Amino acid sequence: MSTQELLIQIQKLPLEDRLTLLEAISRGVHEELRPRRRVKVEEVRGIAKPDGPMPTDEELKEDYTRYLMEKYS
């Protein structure tokens, strides 16, 4: 059956059946497009860890304040 013939047959289906078909096709395409590899927590642990010691809350506030002042001045 060609794609054109299939489309004609789909148009003849009741609305509920077409919606069910649409959902099934959507799920299938989504599964195909989704990356297969899952990242483990152990593989990304420490990815955002700073080079030195963790900054204090006060240092973070100062850095953020400085960033905002530079951005909006």
DSSP per position, 14-32: -HHHHHHHHHHHHHHHHHH
- pLDDT-derived band at 13, boundaries 50, 70, 90: very high
Domains of the chain, by residue range, sit at: 1-35
pLDDT at 21 over 90: yes
- In degrees to the nearest 10, what's the CA dihedral of 58, 64, 65, 70? 150
The residue that leads in pLDDT, 31 or 23, is: 23
pLDDT at 57 over 90: yes
pTM summary value:
0.45
- pLDDT-derived band at 40, boundaries 50, 70, 90: confident
